[in-house]
Amino acid sequence: MNTTQIRTNYKRFKWWQKFLIVAFPVLPWLVMALLNYFTPVDESSVEQKVTLRIPQGATLSQIGDSLLAHDLIKNKKLFTYFVKYLGYEKKLRAGVFAVPGNLNHYQMVEYLIGARAERYKITLLEGWSLKEIAAYIGKKPGLSAERFLELAHDPAFIKSLGLDVPALEGYLLPETYFLEYNIREEQLLKILVGKCLEIFKSDSARRAMINIGLNRHQVLTLASIVEGEALLDAERPIIASLYLNRLKRHMRLQADPTIQYIKEGPPGRLLFKDLEIESPYNTYLHYGLPPGPINNPGKKSILAVLFPEKTNYLYMVAVGDGSHTFTTRLKDHLKAKAQFDRVRRIVKRKQRNNQK
């Protein structure tokens, strides 16, 4: 039979007969592919979950290799084909996923598109310095303290956040955060700074800054001093009011936390010589606010500065239990200080007697 006869005979077939002739050679492969696609890899592993890590920027081929290596799919080519066919290639996300081990290829594709990446919790404490936050972050999966600090002082990166400051000290809002395992230092800093800047976006916050006569950077600077001074939440707006009153009267702030900031070594009792340390952050020597925040204040301290109590206080003395005695006149302040010093001496004397 020559070619012409074959063509003539082929034309006599109906459309469905032609389809079967063409499809028959690939039909077994298609059936096997569909069975493979809709059959779980391991039907016995109903409760078993496999930790799958998809790095940032991983290609579809690399994701397929990882799935195959973890026995989560049977056929990489089939998996990648259907991902492309369904138009899901750009929807696959990086992260760490707890993947059920009994999914078929179709379910696997749907799972990776819709699943939420595993997360872990971090908690930044109010009043932590930039270095303390970096040291804490450096202990978390895949994060570097050195890189974190480098970015926090990088002018180009800081500018990309919409800030014109020398460093991000004071701009990292202490809170509890839930992070994906593949997060990078740049992304984390954007989150921390973003949470801080959110506080200033409301109309009430903008009006408050006008009322107290401070810009955002100055608010964070004063809030960091309040954070370093206050132990009781109820006192934060009072302490903020006291410092604002001193600023309005052009009095030196004389804030002990600023001296602790410039001292070397861990926090301790201040000596008279410490008050003479030359530094723009020394509020015993210099008028006004220091150049920038001395720590990263919490939201309560920031709001305390934005919405302070209305007081006439100019002085305060810590009384040893976390609270303060507030006064408006210097003579009352000196009296309160003398009383506290007397109580402290009595307590120390009793402690020495108990040790004998």
Residue range 53-97, pLDDT digits in tens: 988 889 999 999 999 999 888 888 888 888 888 888 888 888 888
* b/e code 143-153 from CB counts within 10 Å (16+ = b): bebebbbebbe
Write out the H or E segment, with its range, that includes residue 257: helix 256-262
- What is the predicted pLDDT for the residue at 106? 80
Enclosing domain of residue 1: 1-36
Co-location of 260 and 285 in the same domain? yes
What three-state secondary structure class fits 240?
helix
Co-location of 173 and 261 in the same domain? no
Q: Find where tokens 């804490």 sit.
A: 136
Q: How many domains are contained in the chain?
A: 3
Percent pLDDT > 70 in the chain is: 83
Co-location of 188 and 270 in the same domain? no
**Does residue 88 fall inside a structural domain?**
no
User: Average pLDDT in the 299-318 region?
Assistant: 97
Co-location of 296 and 248 in the same domain? yes
Reported as a single tens digit per residue, the pLDDT across 106-118 is: 888 888 888 888 8
**Does residue 87 fall inside a structural domain?**
no
**Does residue 42 fall inside a structural domain?**
no
Co-location of 219 and 306 in the same domain? yes
Q: Find where tokens 């500018």 sit.
A: 159
Distances (CA, A) of 306 to 28, 235, 245, 289, 312: 73, 14, 14, 15, 17
- What is the predicted pLDDT for the residue at 24? 47
Answer whether 198's CB lies under 8 Å from 299's CB: no
The two tokens of residue 220 are 């964070």
**Does residue 73 fall inside a structural domain?**
no
Reported as a single tens digit per residue, the pLDDT across 170-226 is: 999 999 999 999 899 999 999 999 999 999 999 999 999 999 999 999 999 999 999
Sort strands 315-318 and 324-327 into parallel, antiparallel or unpaired: antiparallel
Backbone angles phi, psi at 135, to 5 degrees: -60, -40
Write out the H or E segment, with its range, that includes residue 202: none
Q: Transcribe 47-114 into DSSP letters.
A: S-EEEEEE-TT--HHHHHHHHHHTTS-S-HHHHHHHHHHTT-GGG---EEEEEETT--HHHHHHHHHH
Answer whether 211's CB lies under 8 Å from 160's CB: no
**Does residue 146 fall inside a structural domain?**
yes
**Does residue 57 fall inside a structural domain?**
no
Q: Confidence band (pLDDT; 50, 70, 90) for 227?
A: very high
Distances (CA, A) of 249 to 180, 244, 280, 325: 49, 9, 20, 20
Co-location of 184 and 221 in the same domain? no
pTM summary value: 0.80
Distances (CA, A) of 104 to 45, 53, 73, 92: 12, 19, 7, 17
